[in-house]
Amino acid sequence: AQRVTQPEKLLSVFKGAPVELKCNYSYSGSPELFWYVQYSRQRLQLLLRHISRESIKGFTADLNKGETSFHLKKPFAQEEDSAMYYCALGGNYGQNFVFGPGTRLSVLP
């Protein structure tokens, strides 16, 4: 069965510090993995996906199939990065997306 875990409910860091939001998954096939973000009073939006290998707003995420992980990283956190972050696993044909429980990132001044 598909499953996504995010071990931290809340992560607080100081501005300028590195950030790593952890995500682990279980899936028997070839996974499609995503990070979604929800800023205060805004709707859920796609941040990045593993297949594009892009860096969005300074965030990157590398798929590690051996460790079944897709951790989100940023070398220098900014206050505007404070938000709720969800790791998600996509099913076949975009069906049955499985979201993790989310990690709230708080970047302190």
Helix (H) / strand (E) element for 38: namely strand 32-38
- State the residue for tokens 């950030």: 19
How many beta carbons lie within 10 A of that of residue 57, not counting itself? 11
Q: Could you say which residues in the range 10-39 bind other proteins, by CB under 8 A?
A: 32, 34
Part of the chain binding other proteins (CB under 8 A), chosen from 19-27, 55-63, 65-73, 97-105: 97-105
Whole-angstrom distance, CA of residue 49 vs CA of residue 32: 8
Q: Could you say which residues in the range 62-91 bind other proteins, by CB under 8 A?
A: 86, 88, 90-91
Name the phi and psi angles at 95, rounded to 5.
Answer: -80, 160
Whole-angstrom distance, CA of residue 52 vs CA of residue 90: 14
Residue from 28, 30, 40, 95 that binds other proteins (CB under 8 A)? 95
Query: Residue 102, interface with other proteins (CB under 8 A)?
Result: yes
- Nearer to other proteins (CB atom), residue 15 or residue 97: 97
- Nearer to other proteins (CB atom), residue 49 or residue 74: 49
List interacting residues with other proteins (CB under 8 A).
Answer: 4, 32, 34, 43-46, 49, 86, 88, 90-102
